[in-house]
Structure 1
């Protein structure tokens, strides 16, 4: 992707830190969300959680530096920069809650972290879609810097706030 390739030459540590470690975090997401693994092998969940946390922390810090130094303009810089800050913040909050033993709050914050991790997938859908729609790249990219993560986070918040139906089982009269 030539529109970000200049980062590889100007900021190779940040660039490669981001493009190598963000996919690690992304690959760990399905395993971390797998309820059976969490319940049957909590030690594996914790170990992979540590790997996810390290991947997000290093990739998020790298992503923040790339956002601050982007040549894509201030709208894209602010969109990607805020994504990086929120990704780091939600993940750090989730880690701290896990370490304090608050599993319920940990799960809620990690759902937010995962929604932000999935911005990478959303971005890779939106860029080709904007090209197929013949939207000029200079117009599309700053919008995508926001659209790749804001809707994901909104869906996560809706899921977290959606009222749960109680599962009451009725017994037949004796």
Structure 2
């Protein structure tokens, strides 16, 4: 089948589904004590619920949106799911992320990172949507790749958090450990995927690079 030529689709979908299946259940009960992030700020929990549910919509629909086979085979559904990604996923998740990022219990380093992530996520997604509306599909693809990188950064955030814990658990005082790990994980969680996505956009495919080198070696 054609879509199997993109070997990253299956593993990516599996990781995303597994992550949502693991992350979402504690928030389905409505029990504040079961939330994985606790805060003394009263309205934190309702904003956290909005963020978790809508970010789950965003990350699932985003996998479908970047699937080349689906995008080419079902363009009408690509547009419909794109609207869900923007209006039911990124917009409410990004706005609620701004609030809970500003009120994070993990210190100023994590706060700055969370706010920047939410702002860039909203801006990149809006630019992708605007480019699609004006039929500038090349720009739409570029901004959507950046938006996707920030959408899945929550997964890499968790990975970096585990790495930071393993490296720092015996070196940082226990009282400072949560904020230290959160500061490292929040920044690396979205900055690294965004840098990789930018490299991907700016790279020269092997065939194109070979053609350019061939032209450069042809004598005038």
TM above 0.5? yes
1:70 and 1:118 mapped to 2: Cα distance? 20
Question: Do 1:8 and 1:15's aligned partners in 2 also have CA atoms closer than 8 Å?
Answer: no
Stretches of structure 2 lacking an aligned partner (at least 5 in a row): 1-33, 170-176, 212-220
- Taking only aligned residues, the RMSD between alpha carbons, in angstroms, comes to 2.0
2:96 is aligned, of 59, 62, 65, to 62
Q: Report what 1:87 is aligned to.
A: 121
Instruction: Give TM-score, length-normalised by structure 2.
Output: 0.71
Q: Report what 1:121 is aligned to.
A: 155
Instruction: Give TM-score, length-normalised by structure 1.
Output: 0.88
Stretches of structure 1 lacking an aligned partner (at least 5 in a row): 169-174
Q: Report what 1:46 is aligned to.
A: 79
Question: Do 2:164 and 2:185's aligned partners in 1 also have CA atoms closer than 8 Å?
Answer: no
1:130 and 1:2 mapped to 2: Cα distance? 22
Q: Report what 2:204 is aligned to.
A: 163
Change in 2 beyond 3 A, CA 1:110/1:8: farther
Q: Report what 1:24 is aligned to.
A: 57
Alpha-carbon distance, 1:74 to partner: 1.1
Alpha-carbon distance, 1:2 to partner: 6.2
Q: Work out which of the two has the higher radius of gyration on C-alpha atoms and give 1 or 2.
A: 2
Alpha-carbon distance, 1:69 to partner: 1.3
The answer to whether the aligner puts 1:147 opposite 2:180 as a matched pair is no
2:41 and 2:151 mapped to 1: Cα distance? 21
Question: Do 1:26 and 1:117's aligned partners in 2 also have CA atoms closer than 8 Å?
Answer: yes
1:33 is aligned, of 18, 43, 66, to 66
Q: SS at the partner of 2:127?
A: helix
Q: Greater relative contact order: 1 or 2 (C-alpha under 8 angstroms, separation 6 or more)?
A: 1
Alpha-carbon distance, 1:138 to partner: 2.5
Alpha-carbon distance, 1:63 to partner: 0.3
Equivalent residues, number: 168
Deviations 1:13-41 (A, max 9, x none): 31111011101111112211111111111
